[in-house]
Amino acid sequence: MMRSLFSGVAGLKTHQTKMDVIGNNIANVNTVAYKSQSITFSELMYQTTQSASGPNATTGTAGTNAKQIGLGVQSAAISTAITQQGSTQNTGNAFDLRITGDSFFVVSNGSSNFFTRDGSFYVDAVGNLAMSSNGYNVMGWQVNDKGEIVQDNVSKLQIMSAKNLTSDPVATTLATMNGIVDKNDPQIKSEEGKVINLSFYDNMGYPYTARFKMNGTDDLGKYVLKLENVLDSNNESILDKFDASIFTTELSNTYASREKAYGLNEKYTNTAGTLALTSGEDIEYEYKDANGNTVAATTSNLNPADCFAGYNVKTGELEGADEQQIALANLYAKAYGFSGDEAYKEFLSKTVQDTDADGNVTEVAVGTLLSQGNVATDNGTELFANDGTLLVTGYVLPEGEGISVLYNQETGSLQTINGMNITSFNLNLAPKTSTADNPFEQISVDIKDTKNLNNDQVSTVGATSGDKEGNGTGCALGTMTGVSIQRNGMIYGAYDNGQTKLLGQIAVANFSNAAGLEKEGDNLYSATLNSGEFDGIGVDITAGGGSMQTGVLEMSNVDLSSEFTELITTQRGFQANSRIITVSDTLLEELVNLKR
């Protein structure tokens, strides 16, 4: 009879534990991302009063089963429905996140990492993304200098640091011209021409306007595009401080932008544009002799036939060249803007465009042209003269002239620029002072979308910065106007200069047995031996097919109907176990009364 009393007590205790679990579930019915728990019971233990016996062949008696008396019940396991997702609650807060899938956010208190499904976040005073409930930092991956995510050990995401509150200015590198060029437009037919303005930025974010003019007086689709002026934001010309030019090849850009910086062009270039360096004035240079001693020397005849003798196209080397010849080759390359101990190698590897008799454009290295001897391109723009001297005629435009634009008179589409089958020209600005830094980048202006068509004597040709996809537009310094979080956890800042910048990415953790995580309170879990370890790096949430939703939170997955049903059965179980104790007490009372 004492056994039944203790069995009743065990039943009361286990049902009380179940009530505790149910009560906790109901209490957290509105807790963000709470995962409900359930309890299962098991028999406590048994007292064996008689062991089982087998059949006796001698006596012919059968075997008997064991006699065992149970001693009650115990809590077997308390399980968490951790993979069962709760419903969605809309909040409208951009920093509220809901995870779809089985992943967990990684958060840190500064010394340890924890895991949570609670995506109620905010940005603290120093710009860190953190949990709203306890201030733990949300962990993720940082961005390198190239603007790329580095998936290394997770660290706190300071998305609104002083650095991220602004977007650096970017110089314009690409531009486009489009619209109609009508040959009957009075502006096009006049000497003043049609004005085309191009707005662009330097690398410090200052705005400028390049002022072009386009005109043509024949009926063969040929027009001239000139650069008239470059104006700053105060509408004042900057040409007193900067040289500005337009041209059609990369080699000409190098030459035009740096010729005065090295001082060679003005001293040693004749009026035909030939870089002969035979003016009679000495050019000073240095080289090392066979003993390694520095030798100062001068030359007044810097001829490419001598500088690049022994050039091997395959190896890119000057075979058999001594230090003096290499010094002369480098000196020649410096006239075109190259520098360093092997400037000539960069110069020789540079490519220029060559057009054959069929109008096909090919890229040819300067070194290849040198190895071929005397070369003149089929479009009439000579690269090498008969004496081997490198020419720039047709590549660098004489001051005051423009580029020639030819349209097909059957289709109205662009045909050639300066006689070449290309669709763009380059705009370059360089400081007049050789020691000054250049705040501008070369701008490639694509004009293939311009058309030479009838438009009732109105030309609509215009220019915009950037290409069709918006690349190379350039921008001024920008201030952050908003933050957005993508489905893969990448965080982007938006700025009032039209730019966006990647600020970081929220990493998540996956576990082989998520139910093995240990609850730590505050909607947090920690890893255990049975859940699997966290490697410190985490994963991209999309790698497992999951995603993040912004402006919503995951609600509790508690099912009240199930909980109330469990509440009833638990109440009855507790009541029945209490009756065991009551009846057992009554039996003991009858036993005591036998003495009367």
State the DSSP string of 37-101. EEEEEEE--EEEEE--B--BTTTTBPPB--EEEE--EEEEEEEE-TTS---EEE---TTBEEEES
Same domain flag for 39 and 147? no
Residue 227 inside a domain? The answer is: no
pLDDT at 307 > cutoff 90? no
CB of 133 within 8 A of CB of 34? no
E-assigned strand segments in 410-537: 414-417, 424-431, 443-451, 462-465, 478-485, 490-495, 500-506, 508-509, 518-521, 524-526
Q: Which residues, in sequence order, are CB contacts of 67 under 8 Å at separation 6+?
A: 48, 49, 50
- Residue 583 half-sphere exposure toward CB, CA atoms < 13 A: 10
427 is a domain residue: no
pLDDT bin (cut points 50, 70, 90) of residue 277 is: very low
Query: Are both 289 and 379 inside the same structural domain?
Result: yes
What's the whole-number mean pLDDT along residues 474-488? 94
The pLDDT of 24-53, averaged and rounded, is 89
Selection from 127, 99, 126 nearest residue 115 by Cα: 99
- Do 40 and 52 have their domain in common? yes
Q: How many residues does the chain have?
A: 596
- Tens of pLDDT, residues 537-587: 999 999 988 999 999 999 999 999 999 999 999 999 999 999 988 998 888
Q: Which residues contact 317 (CB under 8 A, 6 or more apart)?
A: 311
Residues 276 and 378 in one domain: yes
Of the segments 371-380, 485-494, 587-596, which one has the largest average pLDDT value?
485-494
Mean pLDDT of 263-273: 37
Pairwise CA distance, residues 95 & 550, whole Å: 7
pLDDT for the residue numbered 561: 93
Better pLDDT: 365 or 139:
139
Q: How confident is the model at residue 376 (pLDDT cuts 50, 70, 90)?
A: very low
Q: What angle do CA 142, 145, 147 make, to 5 degrees?
A: 65
Q: Give the angle 189-194-195 at the CA atoms, nearest 5°.
A: 160
- Kindly tell me if the per-residue pLDDT of 396 is higher than 60: no
Residue range 44-65: mean pLDDT, rounded: 85
Domain co-membership, 55 together with 160: no
Range in 79-93, 264-278, 484-498, 499-513 with the lowest mean pLDDT? 264-278
Contacts with 433 (C-beta within 8 Å, 6 or more apart), sequence order? 241
Give me the mean pLDDT over the 74-78 stretch.
90
The pLDDT, as a whole number, for residue 362 is 59
Q: Say yes or no to pLDDT of 230 above 90.
A: yes
Residue 430 has pLDDT above 50, yes or no: yes
User: Are residues 116 and 130 in contact, defined by beta-carbon separation less than 8 angstroms?
Assistant: no
Q: How many domains does the chain contain in total? A: 3
Q: Is 32 helix (H, G, I), strand (E, B) or coil?
A: coil
In a domain, 322, yes or no: yes
pLDDT band at 67 (very low <50, low <70, confident <90, very high): confident
| pLDDT surpassing 70 at residue 146 | yes
- pLDDT for 339 beyond 80: no
Q: Is the pLDDT of residue 24 over 70?
A: yes
Q: Which residue has the tokens 């303005």?
A: 197
- At residue 272, does pLDDT exceed 60? no
Question: What is the model's pTM?
Answer: 0.64
Do 312 and 367 share a domain, yes or no?
Answer: yes
In a domain, 285, yes or no: yes
pLDDT at 251: 39
Q: Are 155 and 129 in contact (CB under 8 A)?
A: no
Distance CA 526, CA 218 (A): 81
Residue 3 binned pLDDT confidence (cut-offs 50, 70, 90): confident
Task: Say whether both 31 and 135 belong to one domain.
Answer: no
Q: What is the pLDDT of residue 301?
A: 66
340, 372, 394 - which closes a domain: 394
Give dist(CA 547, CA 98) in Å, integer. Answer: 8
Q: Three-state SS string across 189-250, please? A: HCCCCEEEEEEEECCCCCEEEEEEEEECCCCCCEEEEEEEEEECCCCCECCCCEEEEEECCH
The Cα–Cα gap between 170 and 475 comes to: 5
Amino acid at 273: G
Distances 35 to 16, 117, 523, 534 between C-alpha atoms, Å: 21, 9, 9, 21
Strands (DSSP E) contained in 460-577 are 462-465, 478-485, 490-495, 500-506, 508-509, 518-521, 524-526, 547-550, 552-554
44 with 146, same domain: the answer is no
Alpha carbons 213 and 401: distance in angstroms, whole number: 11
* Residues ≥6 apart with Cβ < 8 Å to 595: none
Regarding whether 565 and 530 lie in a shared domain, the answer is no
Parent domain of 564? 2-83+558-593
Residue 249 domain-assigned (yes or no): no
- How far apart CA 334 and CA 326 sit, in angstroms, is 12
Is residue 309 in some structural domain? Answer: yes
The percent helix, strand, coil of the chain (3-state, each to 5) is: 20, 35, 45
User: What pLDDT is recorded for position 343?
Assistant: 82
- Whether residue 37 lies inside any domain: the answer is yes
Residue scoring higher pLDDT (299 or 117): 117
Q: Decide: 173 and 441 in contact? Cβ < 8 Å.
A: yes
Q: Which of 394, 410, 441 is the last residue in one of the domains?
A: 394
* Pairing label, strands 361-365, 104-108: unpaired
For range 78-100, the mean pLDDT: 92
Q: Summarize the confidence of residues 287-305 as an average pLDDT.
A: 81
* Residues 48 and 157 grouped into a single domain: no
Q: Lowest-pLDDT range, 118-127, 196-205, 251-260?
A: 251-260
Residue 537 falls inside a structural domain: yes
CA dihedral of 313, 317, 323, 325, whole degrees rounded to 10? 0
What is the rounded CA–CA span in Å between residue 21 and residue 27?
Answer: 10
What percentage of the chain reaches a pLDDT higher than 90? 52
Least confident of 11-20, 57-66, 204-213, 263-272: 263-272
- In this structure, the answer to whether residues 379 and 300 fall within a common structural domain is yes
User: Distance (Å, rounded) from C-alpha 176 to C-alpha 163?
Assistant: 32
Q: Which of 324-333, 371-380, 477-486 has the highest mean pLDDT?
A: 477-486
Domain boundary among 379, 394, 409: 394
For 91, half-sphere exposure in the C-beta direction (CA atoms, 13 angstrom radius) is 21
